Amino acid sequence: MQAGTKRRKAIGAVRLSSLTEETTSPERQKEAEQAWANANNTEIIGWAVDLDVSASIPPWERPELGAWLERHVEYDLLIFAKLDRAVRSLRDFVDLMAWSEEHGVGLVILDPQIDLTDMWGRAMGGILAVFAELERNMIQKRTKEGYAEVLKQGRWPGGRLPFGYSAVERQDGDGWQLVINPEQAKVLRTIINRIIGGASTLSQVNWLNEQKIPTARGAESWGYTAVYEILRSPALLGQRVKDRGNTRSKGWVDVVRGDDGLPVQYAEPIVNRETWERLQETLNANAKQTTGNRYDASPLLQVAFCARCERPFYRRGTERVMASGDTKAYFYYRCASASDTTVETCPDKPYKYLELEGLVFHEVLDVIGTLEVQQRVFVPGEDHTETLETAQAAYEELTQQLTITRSASGRAKLMEQLTALDERIADLEELPNRPSTWRYEGTGQTYAQLWTTLNDAERGAMLRDAGVKVMCVRKPDGTPVAGVVLPENLAERAKDWASKRE
């Protein structure tokens, strides 16, 4: 070291796009920069280490490097082990050079070794930055093409697992695939049935948290938005979603599509399309309500009806905190005519909520308590009805996207998909039409047995799902009475059971 030579101060910059346990790149970058500093009378006073940070992110937006760039008065040099660790776009390179000249901070690139302090060195650096940008674009293109090919082959490309599915290694050893997670799928089907039956989305969020059901990532707490996006997502149909952020504002979700315009099917569906569409219709109807989101559906919602006007009963009232600190419920039931000014209000007085709920539940159990609970199972037909509906839905979604797509290349791609879909729909319409059906399977448990495991809200959801209705009215002396109306399948089984008992 020459006498009187001032020792310079520097910041060593380290960047890596993807950090794994096996990589040694950060250590190698540090060693190279430290070796240069030792040989060039330079002291590294700090490190800007940005791991899991893409080179496409400008230097000023990287967590640690961006902070050091704001403290430029504290050092003389900024050292990078490689040019592609600094930038991978010509624009970022030019901006970094301008920043360097403005603040008097020298830039040191070790690989390739270029002198950025003169015109020729900066020109060479710009050329290399162009090639780095081209390389990055090619990597992105190959990654995107490989991603699409993986999906076409039914393989799982990685990323966040949708709730209801698990990733397992394929039997042929060629990557991973998604399979239905039985426990999570059961949770989803329960929630979907309840919402279709009248429960609010918020009530199911509360139920998930009360039951301490973990999220797909293992977290213990659910939020409304997360549950709502799951219910809106075509991932329930086994389709790959590439845009999650538009479920609230646009009413459609962008899915990965093949060259034929149809959604790529990368897993077995958790629910069939009919159920999914019923769920979407219910969510749309709930979103139009002006009374706000209910904390929970009342047990008798769409179960108890007024026998005089055949309109549903609604539970009104509130809970009050007493002077003792206890909470007391002040609820009552009244038929819908009470709030409808266009019809004459029924003469029946309001029902105390415990009185009516107790009566309805007692009458229902008396009629169906001994019957076995059956679940409705979708049986696909041999026709192509569901495929046709999927193609028609895809055609409508792409048509909607065409109205908001501005670029010529984007519109051309959409038109290709629409043409392929139109041909596919025409072919499907010519095939034999034998619709899908439903069948009922026993669960080995009676309604009375299941009843003891449910709370009141869950009991109401079960009755709605089963199609049970109860008509209520007061006798002349004011005593409430109720009559149970069963759907055809339950009515036949109840009749058979009654005849055998006689």
- Per residue in 227-283, pLDDT (tens digit) is 998 998 888 888 877 644 444 444 445 676 766 667 777 778 888 887 888 888 888
Pick the more confident residue, 449 or 126.
449
293 pLDDT band (50/70/90 cuts)?
A: very low
Residue 249: the pLDDT is 43
Residue 79: the pLDDT is 92
Across the range 370-391, mean pLDDT stands at 70
Residue 396: the pLDDT is 86
Residue 369: pLDDT over 60: yes
Which token pair is 345?
């209000």
Pick the more confident residue, 1 or 93.
93
Classify residue 270 by its DSSP letter.
Answer: S
Report the range of poorest mean pLDDT among 288-297, 383-392, 468-477.
288-297
Per the DSSP assignment, residues forming a β-bridge with 334 are 314
Distance CA 299, CA 458 (A): 7
133 pLDDT band (50/70/90 cuts)?
A: low
Q: Where are the beta strands (DSSP E) in 354-487?
A: 372-379, 437-446, 469-474, 480-485
Residue 44: pLDDT over 90: yes
337 φ, ψ (degrees, to nearest 5): -65, -20
Report the range of poorest mean pLDDT among 129-143, 167-181, 391-405.
129-143
408 pLDDT band (50/70/90 cuts)?
A: confident
Contacting residues for 26 by C-beta, under 8 A, at least 6 apart: 14, 16, 19, 49, 51
Q: Of 136, 130, 15, which is closest to residue 81 (Cα–Cα)?
A: 15
CB atoms within 10 A of CB 182: 10
Residue 157: pLDDT over 90: no
Residue 434: the pLDDT is 59
Classify residue 384 by its DSSP letter.
Answer: S
Which token pair is 148?
């699409």
145 pLDDT band (50/70/90 cuts)?
A: very low
Across the range 343-369, mean pLDDT stands at 86
Across the range 387-410, mean pLDDT stands at 83
291 pLDDT band (50/70/90 cuts)?
A: very low
Residue 47: pLDDT over 90: yes
Residue 491: the pLDDT is 86
358 φ, ψ (degrees, to nearest 5): -65, -40
Residue 245: the pLDDT is 45
Distance CA 303, CA 360 (A): 9
Pick the more confident residue, 383 or 344.
344
Percent of the chain with pLDDT over 70: 75
Report the range of poorest mean pLDDT among 145-149, 368-372, 425-429.
145-149
In the chain, what is the straight-line distance between the N-terminal and C-terminal CA atoms, in Å?
111
What sign does the CA torsion over 496, 497, 500, 502 have?
negative
Residue 351: pLDDT over 50: yes
Q: Of 230, 214, 211, 280, which is closest to residue 458 (Cα–Cα)?
A: 211
Report the range of poorest mean pLDDT among 52-66, 151-165, 461-475.
151-165
pLDDT (tens digit per residue) in 198-236: 677 888 888 898 888 998 888 888 888 889 989 988 888
Report the range of poorest mean pLDDT among 66-75, 145-154, 397-406, 419-428.
145-154
502 pLDDT band (50/70/90 cuts)?
A: low
Residue 380: pLDDT over 80: no
Residue 1: pLDDT over 50: no
Report the range of poorest mean pLDDT among 18-27, 34-43, 340-349, 367-376.
18-27
Residue 4: pLDDT over 80: no
79 neighbors 108 (Cβ within 8 angstroms): yes
* Ordered alpha helix ranges (H), 273-352: 273-287
Question: What's the mean per-residue pLDDT of the chain?
Answer: 78
CB atoms within 10 A of CB 281: 11
Residue 294: the pLDDT is 45
Residue 462: the pLDDT is 81
